Amino acid sequence: MYLSVMKFSKYYFIFTFCFSLLGSFFSFSQCNLIKNPSFEQKSACPTSYNQIYLANNWASIDSLANAGNDCNGEYFHTCGNWMTGIPYSTNGMYQYPKTGNALIGLILYVDLPNGQQGMYVYRNYAQGRLNQALTSGKNYCFKMWVNLYNISGYALDNIQAYFDNGSIDTARCGYPKAIVPQVANATGNIIKDTLNWILIKGSFVASGTERYVTIGNFFTDAQAQIQVFNASSGSHNIAYYLIDDVSLFPADLSAEAGRDTSMCKGDSLYIGRPPEIGLDNIWKEMHSGTQIGVGAGIWIKPDTSATYIVTQDLCGTITIDSIRVVVNCLGVAQYNMNNIVNIYPNPANEILNIESKTQNGELRIVDVLGKEIFKEIFFGKKQIQISNLNEGIYFINIKTTEGTIAKKIIITH
């Protein structure tokens, strides 16, 4: 990882990169290992059904499927026509994407006519490429958002994701047998919301051969909980689901707020990682505890100096980071002021030493929730016993007549 700081006019950007992809203006980060995760990139606008292959890096898994084959799922885009447009499309579909301008649709169950049940199944699958092979023994967090097609006749619980080397195949719109998907919607959690997007997520340990993700229903009808959803004459005899915002991250990816910085009042500052599908991090202002945004990064425009906390949850692996933003137009002066304070060791275990060449002031230590842990008058040198404090991030504030010095420390035991 490395840090890049760019300023354009009155806007400031602080980016922390995972790995770089070349863009038309500057290189940008993508920590999400799914290529084209929200289906925005396309080779052409969809004009008919069964054109999932028009979404870059996505396709059917049926080796017999080709352009126009009905084993393919659907690709919907705002540039589509009356059959494939957004939010309106043929057969009464009305749905906006979770984000962006595109989504895909898959048939996960068909109620076959009498006399054909059990003879064969008909399903769609969507296979997407990963940016790199997964690491053997490493834990990953997968997420996707789903929504039931509003005139589906049925709803079910079997919606899963399977990771492999791309060799998975089906026979004429059937389902691949003896497949154990790494991530699955909870058994009995029948998804029948046609308005809101529903999150499916799960973690798994990679074998090291995975280069593709395949989304669909990998179980038999007997293994699924299927419910009649809409029995009206206008409904279809299928369970059809829309999918958007697919993501895969290493579960140990840490939250990233950026480095402490300064800015002028009235300016705007972007903090955190670049916008990223799948990183729905919670941002709060530390002193008030007020939530101020959700995402990999956010824009702020503070009137006064503040500390911002970001909390990231990747399938239960929770990490926290912070950034101190000093509001003034004396960036160099503030930098010099902060650097006359020496705090060591950092990270610290039992003893924390604080030394400063500045005049006397008030010393405070607070945790990430703003709770005051320690407070006393500071006379330029102090040794503090911290073995009784919990592990985590803390902040040291030294307030003098010249201003406030803010430092972040990490306590580990």
DSSP 14-42: EEE-SSEE--SSS-EE----BSSTTS--B
Q: How confident is the model at residue 25 (pLDDT cuts 50, 70, 90)?
A: very low
Superfamily of domain 33-250: Galactose-binding domain-like (2.60.120.260)
Which phi-psi region, left, alpha or beta, contains residue 281 (left: φ > 0; alpha: ψ -120 to 50)? beta
pLDDT of residue 218: 92
Domain ranges of the chain: 1-31+253-329, 33-250, 330-413
pLDDT of 3 above 80: no
Q: How confident is the model at residue 2 (pLDDT cuts 50, 70, 90)?
A: very low
Into which CATH architecture does domain 330-413 fall?
Sandwich (2.60)
Number of H helices, E strands in the chain: 1, 30
> For the ranges 97-101, 186-190, 227-231, which has the lowest average pLDDT?
227-231
Q: What is the pLDDT of residues 235-284, one digit of tens each?
A: 688 999 999 999 999 999 999 999 888 888 888 899 999 999 999 999 99
Q: Give the C-alpha separation, 190 to 158, whole Å.
A: 8
> For the ranges 71-75, 198-202, 392-396, which has the lowest average pLDDT?
392-396
pLDDT of residue 4: 32
Fold match flag (1-31+253-329 vs 330-413)? yes
Task: Locate 50 and state its tokens.
Answer: 């069964």
pLDDT of residue 376: 87
Contact 49, 74 (CB under 8 A): yes
Q: What is the pLDDT of residues 123-139, one digit of tens each?
A: 899 999 999 999 999 99
1-31+253-329, what's its fold? Immunoglobulin-like (2.60.40)
pLDDT of residue 26: 35
Q: Give the C-alpha separation, 59 to 66, whole Å.
A: 10
Which residues in 90-126 are b (16+ Cβ under 10 Å) and which e? eeebebebbbbbbbbbbbbbbeeeeeeeeeebbbbbb
Q: What is the pLDDT of residues 334-393, one digit of tens each?
A: 555 566 788 899 999 999 998 877 657 788 888 877 788 888 888 888 899 998 898 888
Q: Give the C-alpha separation, 267 to 271, whole Å.
A: 13
pLDDT of 112 above 50: yes
Mean pLDDT of the chain: 84
Mean pLDDT of 114-131: 76
pLDDT of residue 6: 34
**Amino acid letter at 184?**
A
Mean pLDDT of 48-68: 83
More confident call, 39 vs 374? 39
